[in-house]
């Protein structure tokens, strides 16, 4: 299928705005927006000002910036990207808030995840406005907060409170080069064990007859059985690969049990009286995440009956169910066409197991596809994060072409 004149005009327009898009991304990177601490006032105001400069109708709700163009004549398309980033951490060789350009890369926290997409969605809209494209419907831009902590007060607030409503959504927050239509699920779970602190040698945590009323209870030791159960769960995950294709740079076709943080103990010579284990469990699209939660909670209840000395609390945090999109829909075909135009070849839908705000849209009945500029080498969530400039520009084109062909 050949590119039509308007598609070519949009592609050329975005190429001509390349330096401006890069500069805007640098400006975004230079405004820290890490969560924690979650201070968004400055970046929210900056993005609001930029959208108003482009004559996009703009409003701000709890530091989420929302822009609209178009009309009510036809369907509505939501663009979504997030302003927040994970913390900077240590080990950087570049200024994490410098927006430094080295060759074909822009460096900084959020460069790839997800400030590139914030820039892309705004400049895609600008390209359509500058070219005078008449839309048969509406584009809604959402530059949101708190995606990195589950969308709380961000996309979740906007969508569930119906501040933002739309027919379809393009979320820019995944790996590049392919559209994403199959999404894994995630569960955050924390185990908290209370023990009794005692001299580790004089009153060790041993079974009868080698204990008395003065013996301690080793909270770390009791956590071991839970960790072993979760490792057995990981072994089960290894046996089931997703049937859906994954992008070339994604390494895994299976679910994962991630021990992300553990705290416990006071000194070398004392039994630990507390242990806290935090886990992030990811599943492939075919697995029911709620059934995994049920298995874990049932195991904990059985363990408590078996061990009367076990004092444990289990806290289930965010649970996001897997999603599988209809890749034959009108919207899916429009997105595929945008990829075909940009890359001059077919790009089939792929799977993304890490979760994003896309699941929130899906759960509200809004058909959602993901695009993005992220590669494995980009170090997102790590030191020296960067984005390739070409990937930034390609995502901008995909946003714009999707809107053009869905709303005309």
Half-sphere exposure of 21 (CA within 13 A, CB side): 31
pLDDT of residue 1: 44
Half-sphere exposure of 166 (CA within 13 A, CB side): 33
Mean pLDDT by 10 residues, the chain (408 residues): 83 98 98 97 98 98 98 95 96 97 98 98 98 96 96 95 96 94 96 97 94 96 97 97 92 95 95 97 96 97 96 94 94 97 96 91 95 94 97 98 96
Distance CA 13, CA 115 (A): 21
Stretch(es) of the chain classified as CATH 3.30.70.360? 185-320
Half-sphere exposure of 58 (CA within 13 A, CB side): 20
Tokens (6 digits) for 37: 């601490």
Tokens (6 digits) for 88: 């900077």
Give Cβ neighbours of residue 202 (< 8 Å, ≥ 6 apart): none
CATH code that applies to domain 5-183+322-406? 3.40.630.10
3 state SS for 192-229:
EEECECCECCCCCCCCCCCCCCCCCECHHHHHHHHHHH
pLDDT of residue 355: 84
Backbone φ/ψ region at 167: left (φ over 0), alpha (ψ -120 to 50), beta: alpha
pLDDT of residue 318: 85
Distance CA 146, CA 206 (A): 45
Which CATH architecture fits 185-320? 2-Layer Sandwich (3.30)
Stretch(es) of the chain classified as CATH 3.40.630.10? 5-183+322-406
The SS3 call for residue 41 is helix
pLDDT of residue 251: 87
Crossing angle of helices 18-29 and 5-16, rounded to 10°: 50
What's the CA dihedral at 282, 284, 286, 287 to 10 degrees? Answer: -20
The b-or-e profile of 247-275 (16+ CB within 10 A means b, else e) is: beebeeebbbbeeeeeebbeeeeebbbbb
């Amino acid at each position: 299928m050949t590119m039509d004149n308007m598609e070519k005009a949009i592609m050329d327009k975005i190429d001509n705005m390349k330096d401006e898009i890069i500069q805007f991304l640098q400006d975004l990177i230079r405004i820290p927006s890490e969560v924690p601490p979650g201070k968004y006032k400055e970046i929210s105001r900056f993005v609001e000002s930029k959208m108003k400069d482009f004559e996009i109708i703009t409003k701000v709700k709890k530091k989420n910036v929302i822009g609209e163009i178009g009309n009510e004549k036809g369907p509505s398309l939501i663009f979504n990207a997030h302003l927040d980033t994970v913390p900077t951490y240590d080990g950087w060789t570049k200024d994490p808030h410098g927006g430094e350009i080295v060759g074909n890369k822009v460096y900084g926290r959020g460069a790839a995840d997800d400030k590139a997409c914030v820039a892309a969605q705004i400049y895609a809209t600008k390209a359509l406005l500058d070219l005078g494209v008449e839309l048969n419907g509406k584009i809604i831009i959402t530059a949101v907060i708190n995606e990195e902590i589950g969308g709380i007060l961000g996309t979740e607030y906007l969508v569930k409170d119906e501040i933002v409503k739309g027919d379809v959504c393009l979320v820019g927050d995944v790996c590049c080069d392919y559209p994403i239509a199959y999404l894994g699920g995630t569960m955050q779970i924390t185990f908290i064990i209370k023990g009794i602190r005692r001299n580790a040698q004089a009153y060790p945590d041993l079974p009868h007859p080698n204990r008395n009323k003065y013996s301690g209870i080793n909270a770390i030791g009791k956590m071991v059985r839970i960790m072993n159960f979760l490792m057995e769960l990981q072994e089960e995950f290894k046996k089931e690969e997703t049937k859906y294709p994954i992008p070339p740079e994604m390494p895994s076709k299976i679910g994962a049990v991630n021990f992300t943080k553990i705290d416990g103990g006071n000194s070398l010579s004392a039994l630990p009286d507390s242990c806290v284990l935090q886990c992030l469990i990811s599943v492939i699209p075919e697995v029911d995440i709620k059934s995994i939660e049920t298995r874990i909670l049932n195991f904990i209840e059985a363990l408590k009956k078996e061990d009367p000395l076990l004092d444990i609390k289990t806290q289930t945090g965010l649970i996001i169910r897997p999603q599988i999109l209809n890749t034959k829909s009108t919207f899916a075909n429009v997105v595929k066409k945008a990829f075909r135009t940009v890359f001059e070849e077919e790009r089939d839908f792929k799977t993304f197991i890490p979760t994003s705000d896309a699941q929130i849209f899906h759960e509200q009945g809004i058909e959602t596809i993901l695009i993005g500029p992220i590669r494995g080498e980009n170090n997102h969530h790590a030191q020296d994060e960067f984005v390739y400039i070409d990937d930034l520009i390609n995502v901008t084109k995909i946003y714009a072409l999707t809107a053009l062909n869905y709303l005309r």
